Chains A and B, each alone.
Chain A
Amino acid sequence: MSDLKFGTEEPTAEEKTAIDELLSEIGPAEIKLDERFVVSGRTRVKDRRRLLLPALHELQNTSGWISPGGLNYACKVLGIPPAEAYGVATFYHLFSHESPEAKDLIHVCDDVACRLFGAETLIEDLKDSGHKVKPSPCLGQCERAPSVLIQRTNKKDLTAVAESNNSLTAVNIEQVLTSETLTPQMTVPQKGSEGLSLLSRVGVVDPESIEGYMKFNGYDALKKALTIGPDKVIEEVTTSKLSGRGGAAFPTGVKWRAVADQVGRPRHLVCNADESEPGTFKDRTIMEGDPFALIEAMTIAGFSIGAEQGWLYLRGEYPVAAERLENAITESRKNGFLGENIAGTEFNFDIHLYKGAGAYICGEETALFNSIEGFRGEPRNKPPFPTTHGLFGEPTAINNVETLVNVLSILTLGGDKYAMQGTGNSTGTRLFCLSGRVVNPGVYEHPFGITLREVIETAGGVVNSKKIKAILLGGAAGSFVTSNYLDLPMTLEDTREAGVSLGSGVVMVFDESDDLPDTVRRIAQFFRDESCGQCVPCRVGTVRQEEVLARFTRNAPFDTDEELLEDLSVVMKDASICGLGHTASGAVLSAINLGLLERTR
């Protein structure tokens, strides 16, 4: 380690205990073996840096903020420079930097879906009743808008939900606070239907019981994988033509093969569960409703690429999923499906659950690596790619939750048979997140090739049969379409040809009464708030873009504003480091091109 200078502030006894417990297995960065013999060094420090994010969570939960004394103590035992740790702590929305005024901090989502259903009123009501409230970007609960996350000191975080859209009130939230129950929020209208694959167990099995999971074919796929061997697993996945469901649609088999062929060790399997794309809640639905499926799928992936360490990076706003996944990991360990000699074989594999802390950018794969490693969640320049230089600079396969869970049915069915679902290169089924003005919002599973119209009709169509004004397809990083696109088949090929993207499966419907300029400005605000700030085009570009949109909503744009938006779009796409900057203008520009910024009311 270096000769670090620490502050003089002391942690509280609770903060010290929390940090010491975190370090109980690995020990501090510096050990005093004797008054005259101290061992530290950069290697010891390096091993501990990855505990920074968990340590910050501990401090936040213990004291309700990242106190100078607590951070100072964490820095001392982890060997981290205080300025760097402060830089990491201030990167995340869920960490507070001022002594908390109240025990509970209520994050109310005022993002695109929730603002259609009274988010702003709810914020005012909660403030009026004396709560500490913070408007939040999408909380991934869009099917029951508006949604709320209650971050609490010294207690578990809670999510507050209501029965249906537009019905959550300050009164409900008081009830949640009193009852202190974690309310899972799976809305799967197709629950129990024939032909479901990814959703087959959601809402059907007890998500907290490994026995229940085993009764529904749980761990059959892993057993099969262990029998056929890693190469054959990758072969099946390649044959299935499974592609990434996180948005980029990269062929999973190709990715796994590339990592398996690396000479470098160790290798890592990372599951990207930082589902933060506005309008997206499908991964949460799986993790809350069928957590063992994800753990099994990660284990199979780890086996096939030759990894012994799996890392599950879950967004910090999903306390229910966190609890269920923790349970699933513990139960799987107990039953010999994680840890050493899995299912009696030579294969060793275990999973670390990492919780994010409120940063959309950490869904970008290299930012996610930095976040786990204890650095600011800033994306890295690519190349080099994760397959060669991923987590800790080592070969890494990183996959989204939905992608991984597909592997179970690929192994059960066989790659060939899996590939027969869907169309062409768009094989298998896809999860769609229906929200906004549809009758039955929720997560739906459909084979690729279904039309947009059918997707919306399965969700009961538009509320009160109103006219569709626009559909946000693929999330904030996707684009708006109008009813002209209703017959577009939902495949990778057809959407690409139409210049749109399935993205994370978002289908958010707006009717003619909705204030689209406000929605588009909120999307621009989202990117402004979520830019990591590293590269100039995105850091300043997203600000200037939001300023233009604000001028549009005030009906006072400059004459040159449309041109400026186009220039910003080109340069953010061309010169930004990562996908956030590349896609930050997509929805905005599509809205302009469809004339959605003209006020109708």
Chain B
Amino acid sequence: MWAIDPRRTSSAKFADAWLGLNVGTDIALANGVAREIIHTGLVNEEFIENATEGYEEFKTHVEPWTLDVTSEVTGIPSEAIADLAHGYATAPTAQILWTLGITEHHTGVDNVLALSNLALLTGHIGRPGSGLVPLRGQNNVQGGGDMGALPNKLPGFQDVDDDNIRARFEKAWKAEFTGEHGLNLTEMFEAMEQDTLRAVWVIGENPADSEADVKHARAMLERLEVLVVQDVFMTRTAQMADVVFPAALGWAESEGTATSSERRVQRIRAAVPPPGQAKQEIEIISEMAKRLGSTTWGDPTPQELWDELRSLSPMHGGMSWERLEAEGGIQWPCPDEDHPGSLFLHGRLWERPISGRRAPFSCVEHRPPVDELNAEFPIRLTTGRVLDSYNTGVQSGKFDSPIRSGDALEISSEDAAMLNIVDGETVRVSSRRGSILMRVKTDAELQVGLAFTTFHFPELVDINQLTSDATDSKSGTGEFKAAAIKIEKIESMANV
């Protein structure tokens, strides 16, 4: 196990080796590793020949990424990059796993493509124990996508602009809709700014705390004509709303399903009744549909909705409610009731001849984080989670954790010494977008020039005032992982 992370995390300590790369240099590293694999003859020629396309172009593309150049950009010693390349290429099976450290960058999509290239070079995909594994941060992120909660997809990742597919849905839903793509989150905020989006219904999200450059996000929410929030808590966003729909809590007060990172669909069940006036979310949405004039919507039960999904989404076709109960979860695709579910994807790449299209190499460029470091903002701030907390803390903040670390800004002992700051001191932390006060925690293991904090305590530390508003043009995801900040000692609290 190799851990690649700017910080030496708990997982990195479990690992056989840790590589502490510079924030935002994932593509550089991947390209360098690819070049090393190519130059040492460790590529899987059979797989490249029969299952991929664009190899020659890719080979030329990564050629400038010598070990020295890669080392210079990533900050990792050359021999470590070479070790990683050889280790990955020669392992009988190998997986690359990642979380938001890859995707929450303005190059998020390209970062993923750069990792895919490595799997294609070595054939570490489409077989047991191999593959590319994005780890999800919530119990049903995967399920949200599966159900079509994306601007351009219908349930089962079916394209909304495909007329044939849309026709099937229109028939089942007894309603017509266009193939026009919706907006992703970033585009929504842009549309709010341009006043083309004036009414928003937020379900189970707290953008007034969780968005990068949160000051801007709050301003946008403020200028909406109508803000409806459906949530289980009076979050900061809910407090701004015109109307709040109190909802039942998905995992403990509702019936339904959730899909985990490994595409496993499992049942969630109601253990306790929702409090007060809170209603099941299906009920809220159905009631809204009726108020908006629908006559065909009815009052579907969770199981009826599931069966409708199965009839429209081929990859869910075989997952009957009964099977989900009996088998404790099934991994999609599961096209029919005799299908056991799929442990891994892309097995087709090993069929000879390959069935379907070849997997393309992607020539992706390293582009440093948008929020540049300079003399004024010399420190790179990255954010992340800690074990006992979750997102903006509305759920995890309610129990008294003996290991709660709090809201400190972690910086290296060297930086602290240079700034004449001691552990526990309160400092002013500023980015190009905002400025807040934070308590400092020195960490001898942190890289010089790197700062870390969590985003779990927005009421104590409004960290997203600092985070970058840059986004990935392809996914719309914000660059939470790379902001440029400065840290200033407060000479006297009276001046604060």
Contact = CB atoms under 8 A, between A and B. Distances in A.
Contact of A40 (B13, B20, B79, B447): B13
Contact of A3 (B10, B19, B76, B79): B10
B8 interface: yes
Interface string A31-59: 00111111111111000000000000000
Contacts of A3: 10-11, 13-14
B77 interface: yes
Contact of B15 (A4, A34, A36, A41): A41
Contacts of A38: 8, 12, 17-18, 20
A44 to B, nearest CB: 8
A37 B18 contact: yes
A486 interface: no
A2 B80 CA distance: 21
Contact of B19 (A37, A40, A43): A37
Contact of A36 (B1, B11, B16, B76): B76
A3 B10 CA distance: 5
A410 to B, nearest CB: 47
B13 A36 contact: no
A1 B1 CA distance: 11
Contacts of A41: 1, 15-17
Contacts of B75: 36
Q: Chain A interface secondary structure, helix, strand, loop or mixed?
A: mixed
Given A36-B21, A37-B20, A41-B1, A1 B77 contact: no
B15 A40 contact: yes
Contacts of A35: 20, 447
A39 B15 CA distance: 8
Contacts of A43: 16
- Chain B CB count within 10 A is highest, among A4, A37, A39, for A37
Contacts of B76: 34, 36-37
Given A3-B10, A41-B1, A36 B20 contact: yes
Contacts of B21: 36
B13 A2 contact: yes
Interface residues of A, number: 16
A33 B14 CA distance: 17
- Chain A CB count within 10 A is highest, among B11, B12, B16, for B16
A34 B16 CA distance: 15
Given A38-B8, A41-B1, A33 B18 contact: no
A37 B13 contact: no
A2 B10 CA distance: 8
Interface string B285-317: 000000000000000000000000000000000
Contacts of B447: 35-36
A44 B10 CA distance: 17
Contact of A1 (B11, B14, B19): B14
Interface residues of B, number: 20
A4 B20 contact: no
A2 B15 CA distance: 8
Contacts of A36: 19-21, 75-77, 80, 447
Nearest to B10: A3
A34 B77 contact: yes
A226 B8 CA distance: 53
Interface string B70-92: 00000111011000000000000
A40 B15 CA distance: 7
A3 B447 CA distance: 18
Contacts of B19: 36-37
A218 B8 CA distance: 57
B76 to A, nearest CB: 5
B77 A40 contact: no
Given A33-B80, A36-B75, A36-B76, A1 B13 contact: yes
Contacts of B11: 3
A35 B17 CA distance: 12
Contacts of A42: 16
A36 B75 CA distance: 7
A40 B12 CA distance: 10
A336 B80 CA distance: 41
Contacts of B13: 1-4, 40
A33 B77 contact: yes
A294 B8 CA distance: 49
B311 to A, nearest CB: 47
Contact of B16 (A2, A4, A40): A40
Contacts of B8: 38
A409 B127 CA distance: 61
A296 B79 CA distance: 46
A37 B13 CA distance: 12
A72 to B, nearest CB: 16
A1 B18 CA distance: 12
Contacts of A33: 77, 79-80
A35 B445 CA distance: 9
Contacts of A2: 13-14
B14 A37 contact: no
B424 to A, nearest CB: 15
Contacts of A37: 17-20, 76-77, 79-80
A30 to B, nearest CB: 8
Nearest to A34: B77
A42 B76 CA distance: 22
Interface string A325-340: 0000000000000000
Nearest to A39: B17
B435 to A, nearest CB: 30
A1 B16 CA distance: 8
Contacts of B16: 39-44
A73 to B, nearest CB: 16
Nearest to A41: B16
Interface in A1-25: 1-4
Interface string B1-40: 1000000101111111111110000000000000000000
B349 to A, nearest CB: 31
Contacts of B20: 35-38
Contacts of B18: 37-38, 40
A36 B21 CA distance: 7
A298 B12 CA distance: 43
A40 B1 CA distance: 10
A42 B75 CA distance: 26
Nearest to B71: A36
A535 to B, nearest CB: 32
Contacts of B12: 38
A39 B77 CA distance: 13
Contacts of B79: 33, 37
Contacts of A4: 13
Contacts of B80: 33-34, 36-37
Interface in A475-492: none
A263 B3 CA distance: 36
Contacts of A40: 13, 15-18
Nearest to B445: A38
Contacts of B10: 3
A38 B76 CA distance: 11
A34 B12 CA distance: 15
- Chain A CB count within 10 A is highest, among B8, B14, B75, B447, for B14
B163 to A, nearest CB: 53
A405 to B, nearest CB: 44
26 contacts: A1-B13, A2-B14, A3-B10, A3-B14, A4-B13, A33-B77, A34-B77, A34-B80, A35-B20, A36-B19, A36-B75, A36-B77, A37-B17, A37-B20, A37-B76, A37-B79, A37-B80, A38-B8, A39-B16, A39-B17, A41-B1, A41-B15, A41-B16, A42-B16, A43-B16, A44-B16
Interface of B: 1, 8, 10-21, 75-77, 79-80, 447
The 5 closest A-B CB pairs, nearest first, are A41-B16, A36-B20, A3-B13, A3-B10, A37-B80
Given A2-B14, A37-B18, 14 more contacts: A1-B13, A2-B13, A3-B10, A33-B80, A34-B77, A35-B447, A36-B21, A36-B76, A36-B447, A37-B79, A38-B17, A39-B16, A42-B16, A43-B16
